Amino acid sequence: MGRMTFWGSATILRSAAFGLMTAAGLFLTQHGAEAAPKTAITVGMAIEPAGLDPTIAAPVAIGQVTWQNIFEGLTTIDKAGKVQPQLAESWQISEDGLTYTFKLRQGVKFHNGEAFDSSVAKFSIDRARGADSVNPQKRYFASIDTIETPDASTLVLKLKQPAGSLLYWLGWPSSVMVEPKSAADNKTTPIGTGPFKFSGWAKGSKVDLAKNPDYWNQAVSVKLDTAAFRFISDAQAQAAALKAGDVDAFPEFGAPELIKSFEGDKRLATVIGNTELKVVAGMNNTRKPFGDKKVRQALMMAVDRATVVEGAWSGFGTPIGSHYTPNDRGYKDLTGVYSYDPEKAKALLAEAGYPNGFTFTMKAPQMAYAQRTSQVLQAMFAEIGVTMNIETTEFPAKWVADVFKAGDYDMTIVAHAEPMDIDIYARDPYYFNYKNPAFNDVLKKVEATSDPAEQEALYGEAQTILANDAPALYLFVMPKLGVWDARVKGLWENEPIPSNVLTDVHWEE
Amino acid sequence: MISILIRRILSLVITLLVVSLLIFTVMDLLPGDPAAIMLGTSASPDTLAALRTQLGLDQPLPVRYLAWLAGVFRGDLGQSYTYGVPVAGLIAERLAVTIPLALMAIVLSVLVAVPLGVQAARKHNGVFDFVAGLLSYISIAVPAFWVGLLLIILFSTTLGLMPAGGFPGWDAGFFAGLNALLMPAVALALPQAGVLTRVARAAVLEVMNEDFVRTARAKGLSEGIAIWRHAVPNAMVPVVTMLGLQFTFLIAGAVLVENVFNLPGLGRLAYQALSQRDIVVMQDVVLFFSGLVILMNFLVDLAYLLIDPRLRAGAQ
């Protein structure tokens, strides 16, 4: 018995000692913080990137760590979603839209000391469009015919056909400039021209960045000396890490239902912005009964988008009527085209030959938003006599194999993350199996012009076609649930492209 | 004895080979193409083909299997698709978290379970026994990851005494590392402690009334000393056996706990690799887990052979 008490108290003593030590540590760091503004930040992310080279793999987490921090492009995309010059200072587009002449910035050096010039730019683009390229957006370079480098600071792209979105595409993470000698190792040790250098990757835990003292852009003053991206997948653990101060910011917090728990905490700021993540219930347009436009329209009218947002994402999120977000240029609010009207939906269904409804299967990925949205939709479809069975599928692996590639599904739900991807409805094959030559023509016209106003009008047309045809049910845009220390300034509120740009981030004094 | 040993080792190798073949085929049957996951939904077919060639996925199944097996024998476990680094290094890095975590959990569970079990046996059918029994059943029934969440809410969020998760790395200092592992180890230890308490209680109960314990008491030793010096050591065989078996469960059970506490351990590596279809990593980690189970069973067998002379005689 004596031994037992001894053991018991030893355990208690040990925990007490640990507790005291940690408490002392916290006390010390808090005191230190008052003396001078902090120059380090820990940013939380849900998903660890698969490698650190955005030019060879698709996961958005790669760009969220590296884009604009480590790597930069010829052009960039600002926080309003607009194209801005970056490593290309300026450019000229020929009358016919087939020749792009870029004037490149001089005196730019990569983190390994190598200079950036037109040969490097040519190398980067050739690497992305070559025969053995594994660039996830290789299609963006398909219009390029030849690349010329008349001198070190001039790059000329000759196109096969006009590509009105080229400058925008060149701003993407998958189009960043890489240096020939280091490119092959960028997956593990990325070398770019950005304001931060890669300094370490504790796999499974965090990626460390350090300020690049030789950053070319003297116009910006980078306040952070170091930055760490920490990967925490579990939403509860994310919340705990924020509350405990283990991470300073979670730009994309994972669980809307936990947002309320931050309300009382004065130390933390909650900033709700928007993203490019379009939650869309895609239908297999070649399968009965979804081949019938009336059926799709009826299903769209059976959906009360506000309730979906409430049920799936605690009321955070913006309803959409087409495959386009309020961030995107030329956005039109088309939620009124087929707004919630179950009676009309029933009538339309009867007109299409389904007075008693029908039964189909929803293949819903395991993510919370997809599961909850499916359940809300299930109840809404039941109102108009349509029975929806829910089958859970594993995203990405099984979903990509079964739904995306094999097209073996009736309906599915997924958040489309890529900005300005309305052209997916013109792709063949694509999992919606939507084929509309009129729509394809509109998108071809977008590329044929480089006049922004004309492009915006055409994007409006494309949105309207989709809203009317309803090849998929357009539900809502995911919010950007930003939670961070109230003293952290300079993080983007919205996300016109998946990113965590740290250039302007600083601690308020 | 030597011939039994050789036979056992031979069967161990054969089992591992069969297991490796099974792992490989099952991984191949898994739906999902690693190249398609890496390149996302915009990739064109020729890009996919280029990546498949780069990863060696265009080779036929038997060729890939033999190449993998040959690599494993050379100690080359291949390259991770997602991280782009050798898998052996990845596993080693992760073991630096998972092994200390499992060991801490074992130590904690023994520290709790043995005294509880012994005391419950001494007071069997009494109130203490009842309460200890109840507690151990609860701890077996309660999932470790949930205990982990409760611990985080109490000690990290509310009291702010402990880190909410994550691992600073051993280079941040021995105590910082230990501190990060303490709560996960408690969460992991609890169900083990429940099981061990039951085993310890039963084992002590069995030897408590044996002649040698009675003799010890008759010599005038106090009840406590008689139990702790004579009954407990003899009751430890089943407890130690259980521990050996539990160790593999602990390593596997760490998957959920590592996720809750965001620890970069082997379990989380396996989980991540599975969702990314990082097949090489999956194969290696599963092979490692299987090897561990096979090895543990082998060691337990060996221990029996050493302890029980009848088995040795029978085997000859």
Range ranked top by mean pLDDT from A21-30, A425-434, B267-276: A425-434
Q: Give the distance from residue B264's alpha carbon to the nearest chain A alpha carbon, in angstroms.
A: 5
pLDDT of residue B310: 67
Test mutation, A5, A48, A52, A134, chain B, max B CBs within 10 A: A134
pLDDT band at B311 (very low <50, low <70, confident <90, very high): low
pLDDT in tens, A315-362: 999 999 999 999 899 999 999 999 999 999 999 999 999 999 999 999
Mean pLDDT, rounded, of chain B: 87
Question: How far is residue A440's CA from residue A430's CA, in Å, rounded to a whole number?
Answer: 13
- Dist CA A473 CA A325 (whole Å): 14
What is the per-residue pLDDT for A1?
Answer: 32
The rounded distance, in Å, linking the Cα atoms of B166 and A234 is: 12
CA–CA gap between residue A101 and residue B253 (Å, rounded): 59
**Is some CB atom of chain A closer than 8 A to the CB atom of B260?**
yes
Any idea which fold A196-275+480-507 has? D-Maltodextrin-Binding Protein; domain 2 (3.40.190)
The average pLDDT across B203-226 equals 84
Contact by Cβ (8 Å): A38, A132: no
What is the CATH number assigned to the segment(s) A71-185? 3.90.76.10
pLDDT at position B251: 75
pLDDT digits (tens, 9 = 90+) for A208-260: 999 999 999 999 999 999 999 999 988 888 998 898 888 999 999 999 999 99
Check pLDDT > 90 for residue B313: no
Residues in chain B within 8 Å Cβ distance of A18: 161-162, 175, 178-179, 182
Q: Is the pLDDT of residue B51 over 60?
A: yes
Q: What mean pLDDT is predicted for residues B178-207?
A: 91
* Interface contact A136-B152, CB threshold 8 A: no
Q: Provide the pLDDT for residue B314.
A: 55
Per-residue pLDDT, B173? 87
Tell me what percent of the residues of chain B surpass a pLDDT of 70: 96
Quote the CA–CA distance of B110 and B250 in Å, as a whole number. Answer: 13
C-alpha–C-alpha distance, residues B190 and B106, integer Å: 10
Size of interface A-B (CB pairs under 8 A): 184
- Model confidence pLDDT, tens digit, residues A3-31: 333 333 333 334 444 444 444 444 444 44
Q: Where are the domains of chain A?
A: 1-36, 71-185, 196-275+480-507, 278-477
Amino acid in the structure at residue A24: A
Of the candidates B37, B44, B153, the beta carbon closest to that of A397 is on: B37
Task: Give domain A278-477's CATH superfamily.
Answer: Dipeptide-binding Protein; Domain 3 (3.10.105.10)
The answer to whether A283 touches A472, Cβ cutoff 8 Å, is yes
Cβ within 8 Å of A, B 263-282: 264-265, 268-269, 272, 275-277
B273 vs B279: CA distance, rounded Å: 7
Cβ separation A203–B156 shorter than 8 A? no
Q: Which of B115, B164, B259 sits opposite A7 (nearest CB)?
A: B115
DSSP reduced 3-state for A252: coil
Question: What per-residue confidence (pLDDT) applies to A2?
Answer: 33
The percentage of chain A sitting over the pLDDT mark of 90, rounded to a whole number, equals: 87
| B162:A240 CB<8 A | no
d(CA B260, CA B101): 14
Q: What pTM was computed for the model? A: 0.86
Q: How confident is the model at residue B169 (pLDDT cuts 50, 70, 90)?
A: confident
B294 vs A500: CA distance, rounded Å: 46
From B120, which residue of chain A is nearest by alpha-carbon distance? A1
Per-residue model confidence (pLDDT) at position B165: 81
- CB B208, CB B260: distance < 8 Å: no
Q: Which of A437-441, A483-487, B198-202 has the lowest mean pLDDT?
A: B198-202
In this prediction, residues A270-289 reach a mean pLDDT of 96
Determine the residue of chain A that is closest to B160 in CA distance. Answer: A244
Q: How far is A17 from chain B (nearest CA, A)?
A: 10
CA distances from B161 to A41, B104, B155, B179, B187 (A): 21, 20, 5, 10, 16
A250 vs B239 pLDDT, higher one: A250
Give the strand pairing for A359-365 and A387-393. parallel
Distance, in Å, from the CA atom of A491 to the CA atom of A502, rounded to the nearest integer, reads 7
ipTM score assigned to the predicted complex: 0.81
User: Which of A203, A398, A418, A430 is the best substitution to test chain B (most B C-beta atoms within 10 A)?
Assistant: A203
- pLDDT exceeding 70 applies to what percent of chain A? 93
Residue of A nearest to B179 (CA): A18
pLDDT for A264 equals 86
pLDDT reported for residue B2 = 78
CA distance B35 to chain A (A): 9
The shortest C-alpha distance from A240 to chain B (Å) reads 6
Is A246–B30 a contact, with Cβ atoms under 8 angstroms apart? no
Does B182 contact chain A (CB < 8 Å)?
yes
Contacts of A8 in chain B (CB under 8 A): 115
Instruction: Tell me the chain A residues in contact with residue B167 when contact means C-beta distances shorter than 8 Å.
Output: 205
Q: What is the three-class DSSP state of B147?
A: helix
Residues B5-34: tens digit of each pLDDT = 888 889 889 999 999 999 999 988 888 888
A191 vs A428: CA distance, rounded Å: 36
